[in-house]
Each structure stands twice: as C-alpha cells, then as structure tokens.
Structure 1
Amino acid sequence: MLVSFLLAAAAAGHRPPRAAPAPDRDTAAWWQATQALSGDDMEGRDTGSPGYDRAAQLVAASFAKAGLKPAGDNGSFFQTLKLNDVTIEREGTSLAVGGRPLRFLQDLTLRASPGMPTQLDAGIAFRGYCGRDAMGAVQGKIVLCYGTRKKGLPAPAERAEAAKAGGAIGLLTIADPSFTVEPPRWPAAYARTVTLEGEKPPANDAMLIGSVNAEALGALIAGSGQDAAAIIAEGSAGRPLPSFDAGRLTAHIALSHRALRSDNVLAMLPGTDPALKHEVVVVSAHLDGYGFGEAVDGDVLYNGAFDDAAYVALLERLAERRAGKGYRRSLLFAAFTGEEKGLLGAVHFTAHPTVPIATIVADINLDQLRPIFPLDLLTVHALNESTLGDDVREVAAKSRIAVQIDPEPERGLLARADHWLFIEHHIPATGFVFGYRPGSPSEAIYRGWYETRYHRPQDDLSQPIDWAAAGKFNRFFYDLTAKVADAPTRPTWKPGSAYAN
C-alpha cells in the first residue's frame, strides 16, 4: 500500500518547494488514513449523508482496533444528532431582474430558511453600506448593500437591523472582492441550512437573505444608470456610495425540508493516574465535509481532504500509536459532525456531554490546517488566554516552531471551529493555522489555496503536500497531547482572560 501510494504521488508530480522527497513511515500511515476518509467513495462526507455514515463507521472501527473504549450513547462509539435540513433546490429555482435571468449559486446565493418567501416580485433598493441613516424608503423592497468589513462602516448585524426596521422584505449583500485575506468564493456549493432539532428559526426568518457575486452587480442594477464597476471600486475603498432604486427581482424558490440524523464519533483512552484519570483532555476534529455541490472546473464532489479528513485521520493515527496505553489523564477522541453547517456536533456535545463537562479540562482541536508549505510558524488560537498556550509555546519551541496570535482577527477564525464551543463553556481550548511571514512564498501558497481549494472540489487527494511540514505538525500534536495529558496540573485560564468563569 505504501509503495503504490508513493508511486502515485511521484507520478502526479506534486512536490512543493523544499518538501521531503517522500513521507516518513508515520506520515505515510497518516496519509493512508486520510485517503480512506476522503476518497470519492466517501462522497465528501456531507452531514447526514450515507457517505458520512460510512466514514463514521470507519473511524469508529479504527478507534476500536486501537484499543479505545466507546464514549458515545448507550455504550457505543456514536452520539446521534437529530437535525432539520432546509434546502433551496437548484432545479425549480429561478431568479431574474427585469426579465433577465440570474444564475443561482453563480451570480447570487440565498440563505435557506423555513419561513423565507418562495414567490417574490419586488423592487431593488441599493443603499450603499446600509446604515440606518441611508435606508430611506425601502418598505416592501429588497435592499442591496455593499458588504464591506472596514471598521467604522456598518457590520452585517447593523445592515440587517436597518433593513428590517425600514420594512424591507429582503437583504442582498455584495460580497466584497477587496477582502483579500479570505476572498469571496463563487460559485456557492449549495444553499442549505441544517439545524439541531428544536432549534428556533434564524433571525429574520421571513426575509429573503442572500449574497451577490460582485461580477453580477451589473445585472442586478441594469437600467438604473449606475456604473457597477465604479460602485465596486468605491465600496472596496470604503468611500461614499450612492443610494438609488433599480429594477425588480422576481423569484421562484423551490424549497425542500428533510429530517436528518448524523453522529459524532466519540472514544476514550482511559487515564492511568488514580488522582488524574477522572480529568479529561479532548482531542477533536470534524469529520463532515460538503459532499456534492455546484461544479467547479467540471468537478461536483467536494472531498474535503485537508478540511478536515486529514485531521480526523491524525486522531486515528494518535490512537494507533498509543495502542491502548493511556496517559495520566483520560483522553477523549471526538470526531464531530456538522461543523460545516454551524459547529453542530460540538454544540450538541457540549450541551449533552457523554462525560461530565466539569471533568473536561482542555480541548486541542485540529482544523484550519494546510500542510502546503514549510512549517516554522504556527498561528495559535487563544494563545495568551490560558496556560494551555504556555504548553503550546514550550512544545513548539522544542520543535523549532515559532508561535503567534492570529494576525488577521477580522476573519473570526477563533469562533469558526469546534474549539469555540469549549471556550464558550469556559474550558481552555486551542487550535492552529500554519503561519507565514508577510510577503513570503508561503503566504502566496496559502492565499492561493484559499482562492482555489478552500470549500472546493479541488481540496482533494491530488493536491500538493509538503510532507516535511505535515510530519512536523503531526509530531508537534503528539507531543502537545502528551504534555497536557501527563502534566501534574490541569490547564487554567490566565487572570483577566475574557473566557474565564
């Protein structure tokens, strides 16, 4: 298996600069597990899909083979979530402005919501950045806003509040192409909203809420006499924008509703120290991906190899290496579902923990990791908030890895991964991003990945990998886990942390 894998990698020609000529044995074993979870037969592991269920069974079998104990519901490896899915079906949905059709998921996408209108014929009112003072007469109209993220200009919640207060029936936001730290990605994979059973409908449930591709702005405001390119240029710069009324948007929305089930996969490596074994360190990653979606370069399967199959595979690899041998503290392995749909697996687990939540002392989460350039710098979430960050610093230093806080907090990465739910429950937690120096070749590689592969079918097994960087991070993770699980004292929040009790 290893030989065939190496030959295939060599034939594909995927050798990033400074990459090792081949993965070491441990890294190769990790990648084989990644292949098993993100191959086409797993169909992208969409939450609640048969492909996800197959992947969950595979992970549970791997945990059992490695000697871990079931830590899910009813003595099993699974914790089942009951979910509701609302989807805007591509077939049967049509959108047009002034009789000119718009391409759903390509020109604009909409938030699927149970109470959203399915038939619509309404005027479009462009209101710049959509502050309350810019609204004017929007009663019964669809407000179109420039979605800037610049400080001092209205944030998304302010725009929504202003549109609703003005009596608008819809809010469309132009995705700002100047937000280059994480550029808008088109097409959208699909328009789905998945929620936990019993969860309240989203805010503004009855409004038409959506995002507009900047390249399609001209079609939305055709006939208004306004220059779409000028609006994009001025909006990108944060300069004043006009307010004007455009044509009418007509929409027929094909909405479907489904009840789903999907499982967290949970397994325990019991601790060995009589005084510490009742304390639990969680190591987590998300198993779900996007599944099938809108085609990009002819490919409709969003495999999610790096996001996040590779790091569920790293949990499997850690379990295999331990072979049932515990640390002083107990270690809970958690492969969460529904992360891509709103951190649902972590939300459910922290609300309904299968171990007493008071016994959980830390979470080390694996997500947002891209081993595509040399690893000499890690961005560490909540680095300065708890002593867990001190453990990270010590282990990273031994691995010759520098650490930093998030240099791009405007992206909100801290709250976009499963560790956030543990932090919200006042449990020290962290996660990691491969860092880069501004203007370096590594930054160019990182930016390129986000433009072409993030939440795209191109995040697959054929993409370039820096084997040395991948192996270096994996070893860092093994060492950090051991340090936290074997330390004489549990991680604690630092004085003054906003996340402490």
Structure 2
Amino acid sequence: MRHVRLTSMIAAALALASCAASPALDARTAAWWETTQDLSSDVMEGRDTGSPGYDRAANVVAARFDSAGLIPAGDDGGWMQIIAFKDVEVTAEGTSLTAVHHDGTRRQLRFLHEISVGPQWGLASSLDAPMVWRGWCRPEDMTDVSGKIVVCLGARREGQTTGGERLRAATQAGAVAIVNVDDMSFTVEPPRWPLAYARNVILAETTPGPATLPSLRMAAPTFEALAQAAGVDGASILAAGGRNQPMMSFDFRARLEATFALRERAYTSANVLGMLPGTDPALADQPILLIAHLDGYGYGTPVDGDELYNGTFDDAAYVATLTTLAAERAGRGWRRPVIFAAVTGEEKGLWGSRWLAANPTPGAPTPVAVLNLDQLRPLYPLTILTTLALDDSTLGQTVRDIAGPMGIEVRPDREPERGLIRRSDHWPFMQRGVPAVSFLFGFDYGTPAHDAYLDWYRHRYHAPQDDVTTPIDFQAQADFHTFWFALVEAVADAEQPPQWLPDAPNRPGGGN
C-alpha cells in the first residue's frame, strides 16, 4: 500500500475501526492480530524474498521467538538459516508484445495484464512469427506449426493435456513458441490478472537447465479478440474446450512481435528457526515441525493504484499464529521438541521449506511430523475444515478427534485438481517421508461462505488487496486457534509419533 501515504493512513484507520466494531477480541486473538498487522504493514514492503522488507520481518519474528523463550535453531546457533538464491525476471520496462494482423492493424498486448511469458535463462530477446490455434495441442493436433507460434487451451483438468505435454508436442512439431490461453471453465480456481511480475527464482547453487521454447500465457478475452479479428468465434471454441469437446484449428492471420527485457540478480534470504525443547528425554529425537511461510510478493504490478502486495493472509497471519503459540507457551515445553519455522521463498517455489527439508540444522533436525499453516482465510464461520493429506497418516484421526467435539466437520480436499497439496510447505517433507497435514476453511458450494471465498480469491489473493482491510471473522480465527493449539499439544504429547497409513496415497513410493 505505497501509492499514497494518506491512503495508507486511511486503510489503517479502517482496519482499526473494523477491530473496534467487531466483538471484543480475547487476548490470544488480539495478540495474533497485532503481530499480523506488524508483519504485513507497509514497513515490511510485502516481504519479497531477498528484500530489505523481508529481512525486517524476519528480525521481528526472531525477536518474538526470543521473547517467548525459544532456542535459536538456525545456522551457527543463530535464528536464521541463510539460503542463497538467483533469479531471472522479464521486466515490464523494455518488454513489448504486439499482434500484427493481416491487414496491417496492430494490437498492443499489455504485458502482465493480458499476456505474460515464463522467464528463463537463455530466453531469446525477441520473437516474431505467425500465430496458429491448435486447441488441445496433442501431437496429432500439431499440423503445420513449424516456424510458428502455436496457441493452445491451457487445460488444467484430469484427462486433458498438461502444460508439459503441450510444450513437448509443440517442440517436436517445430513451433518457435507456445501460448497457453486461460481455461475459463476451470472455475475452482479462476484465472487472475494482472500478474505481480514474471520472475523465476532458483537456488544459487543450481545450474539452470537448457532453455525451452518461449512459453506464454494469454487471457481468454485477449484470445477471443484476436480470434474475432480472424473471423472466428473464439468464445465458442473455449466453451467447447470447457465441455471437453473437440476444438477446431485455425490460423490467426496475424503475427506476434515480441521483445523481452531480462534482468538477473543474486541474493540471500533466511528461514527463521526456533526450538522449544521437549520435556521427555525419551522423545528428544522426535521433533514436531510447525511451519508457515513469511515471504510474500513485495512490489508488483499496480492494481487500482496500489503496487504493494502486503500479503496479510498469505501468509503473515499464520506466521503470527506461530509467534502467538510460542508466546503462550513461554518456554513451557511439551513432551516432544517443537520446531517453529517461518520460511522464505514459498511463493517462488517452496524454496525455504525445500532447503530446510534437505538441510536440517542441529537445532532443527528432521521432524517426525509437520503441521503447516497456509491457505487459511477466516472469512466466514469455521464449521468445515478441509484437511490436506487427511487420509495419509494417523494425523488425520487426531484432527478428527479434536475438531469433532468442537462441531467442526473435517473433510478431505474436494478439489484435488487444484493440486493444493503440492503447493505449500508441508510437501517437501512429505516427499521425504514425513507425515504432515495442512488446512483450509471449507465451504459448501452455493453458500455465502463459498461466495466469500471466491470473492477473496478473485480480488485479494496474490493481489495488493490482501491487506489488513480484508473483512474477516475474528471468531472463526479464534476457533481455528483453539483447534490448532490443541492439535499441536496432542501430537507433541502423544505416546507414539504419527505414522503413515498402509494405503496412504501421498506416501513416497505410494499412489502419487
């Protein structure tokens, strides 16, 4: 929220007014909200990985861990586990994309607003070729695409072509680039524009792979306009794809002229790690990991004049849950040691959790279970708790045992096509054989809760509007804390550590 200081002051005043108008907050929720506001304030600049704002936020978390009596568990006995990164970004300044039609008319395509390109090392600085539409972009669809830019439906549902399959088919057929058009029928996760930026982050020690064909993404309305200029009903074609029906092929009778400006950088960013020692020496080698990602997007493409992506509920609010729990315990341990981890680089590829999973520190060794905090938004009452990896380990039954008496229905993920289980920080640990769970506030379709979720997803998720002005249900958040704090205690004090179930679909070497 950097656009105008007055606007920032008004937003803060509105947030305070919202708190004042809500029922009086209990001490736990008030402490949580104070930390949430601190971590997502403009001072933290959106906590982009490797930014000064992220470092400021990391220092705040470390100070709260310290005051709660945790033991530093990072590198060399400190709070921080330092990770070296490098990135490549296609910058808005210097990048242009223009459709040139057969009659000479030109349509400028707004980079990051209606078209983008996947940044990669070795990306060509320019592109100029005719565009052709090939629907599903299966190998049998790739007729007469050599030397051309092939445009495909960016399908995301099971049984349809994947991005990797479309790219391979385009490459083998001799195309010079591929464009994936948003599938508007994928309503469980509607496409969002603008994008904050086009950036690819990897570990500094990693050697980038060879460059592939330039891979672009296009908004559906832009595709429809380009198709109309070619005398084709693009909306009908996309609708057929949404119904899993055959789609006609056609040539746009237009070229795409593109110039890409690239910027490369190198920097470091840190996981913040603290340990609450256990009280039972016999369980000292069975730590539990509590994890939430501290990073956000930082500054990006402005939306309604606001260029700062504060990331209040993605995921400052749940790092605040970690610090709130640590403060409540004030050095009073459970039977097992508990690691508190606020990690970096989640938004750039789960890099902080991947690094911690592969490089445990002496103070934060490999855990026996992971309880992850992400993808949570207290927008409506907590009556349904969607639990990722619910049926993978005995953690699922522990979740049911705690939530049930609270009147909370526990559900598995009913939208698996979104791939949420692989998109947050529990996943790198599950890949290494550690049982884990993560949560979403659930809903039934067609209810006010569903409407509130979709509204947040369309207008605030990964946008500057994810800030402290978000209308939230403080009682729902208090209820979640009651559940989650009890879950931590149950897992940390249990006689036996969590175990994988025999038929666990996500166990390494199992069904997935």
TM-score computed with the length of structure 1 as normaliser: 0.95
2:304 to 297, 317, 323: 297
Residue in structure 2 matched with residue 279 of structure 1 by the alignment: 286
Question: Does residue 240 of the first structure (1) align with residue 242 of the second (2)?
Answer: no
**Could you tell me which residue of structure 2 aligns to residue 40 of structure 1?**
42
Matches within 5 A, 1:132-143: 132-143=139-150
Q: Distance in 2 between matches of 1:91 and 1:50?
A: 23
Give the aligned partner of residue 29 of structure 1: 31
Correspondence for 1:306 among 306, 309, 313: 313
Q: 2:385 corresponds to which residue?
A: 378
Query: Aligned residue for 1:475?
Result: 482
Question: How much does 1:13 deviate?
Answer: 8.6
Cα distance in 2 for residues equivalent to 1:89 and 1:379: 38
Q: Which of 196, 199, 223 is 1:192 aligned to?
A: 199
After TM superposition, list the pairs within 5 Å mapping 1:38-437 onto structure 2. Answer: 38-98=40-100, 99-201=106-208, 205-221=211-227, 223-246=229-252, 247-355=254-362, 359-437=366-444
Other structure's SS at 2:263 match: strand
* Cα contact 1:375–1:473 (8 A) shared by 2: yes
Q: Which amino acid aligns with 1:141?
A: K
Judged with a 3 Å threshold, the aligned counterparts in structure 2 of structure 1 residues 134 and 500 are, in CA distance, closer, same or farther, namely closer
Secondary structure at the counterpart of residue 334 of structure 2: coil
1:14 CA drift (Å): 9.4
Give the deviation of 1:284 after TM superposition.
Answer: 0.2
Report percent identity of matched pairs. Answer: 50
| Deviation, structure 1 residue 148 | 2.3
Q: Which amino acid aligns with 1:65?
A: S
Q: Give the drift of 1:351.
A: 1.1
Structure 1 distance, partners of 2:268, 2:97, is 32
Equivalent AA in structure 1 for residue 444 of structure 2: R
Q: Which runs of 5+ in 1 are unaligned?
A: none
Give CA-to-partner distance per residue, 1:169-226, whole Å, 9 cap, x none.
2111001112111100011111001111132435x72321111011111444464322
> Which amino acid is the alignment partner of residue 329 of structure 2?
R
Structure 1 residues 299 and 495, CA gap change in structure 2 (3 angstroms): same
Distance in 1 between residues matched to 2:473 and 2:361, nearest whole Å: 37
Match of residue 3 from structure 2 = none
- For structure 2, which runs of at least 5 residues remain unmatched after alignment? 1-10, 101-105
- Preserved CA contact (<8 Å) 2:74 2:364: no
Contact kept? 1:125, 1:245, Cα under 8 Å: yes
> What is the CA-CA distance between 1:396 and the residue it aligns to?
1.0
| Counterpart residue identity of residue 104, structure 1 | F
Change (3 A) 1:193 1:359: closer
Contact 2:237 2:247 in 1 (8 A): yes
Amino acid at match of 1:207: L
Relative distance call for 1:104 and 1:14 in structure 2 (3 A) is farther
Residue pair 1:302, 1:459 contacting (<8 A) in 2 also: yes
Following superposition, the deviation at residue 244 of structure 1 comes to 1.8
Q: Does the CA-based 8 Å contact 2:339-2:364 persist in structure 1? A: no
**Would the aligned equivalents of 1:14 and 1:464 in 2 still touch at CA under 8 Å?**
no
SS of equivalent residue, structure 1 residue 431 = strand
Q: CA deviation at 1:236?
A: 2.4
Whole-Å Cα distance in 2 between the matches of residues 500 and 258 of structure 1?
A: 35
In 2: Cα distance, 1:211 partner to 1:147 partner: 8
Decide whether aligned partners of structure 1 residues 348 and 464 sit closer, same or farther in structure 2, where only a CA change above 3 A counts. Answer: same
Contact 2:70/2:331 (8 A) holds in 1: yes
Count of equivalent residues: 492
Q: Describe the superposition over 1:263-289 as per-residue Cα deviations: whole angstroms up to 9, x where unpaired.
A: 011110111101012211000000000
Offset, 1:357 = 8.4
8 Å Cα contact 1:493/1:500 also seen in 2: no
Q: Note closer, same or farther for the CA distance 1:290–1:10 as it changes in structure 2 (3 Å cut).
A: closer
Looking at structure 2, the residues matched to 37 and 425 of structure 1 have their Cα atoms a distance apart, in angstroms, of 31
Q: Residues of 1 paired with 2:184 and 2:108: CA distance?
A: 23
**In structure 2, C-alpha distance between the alignment counterparts of 1:63 and 1:52, rounded to whole Å:** 16
Q: CA deviation at 1:401?
A: 1.2
Cα gap change, 1:282/1:135 in structure 2, threshold over 3 Å: closer, same or farther?
same
Q: Secondary structure at the match of 1:194?
A: strand
On the 8 A contact 1:117/1:206 being kept in 2, the answer is no
In structure 2, distance between residues paired with 1:276 and 1:151:
43
Deviation at 1:163, TM superposition (A): 0.8
Supply the distance in 1 between the matched residues of 2:219 and 2:502 (Cα, whole angstroms).
45
Structure-2 change in CA distance of 1:239 and 1:266 (3 Å): same
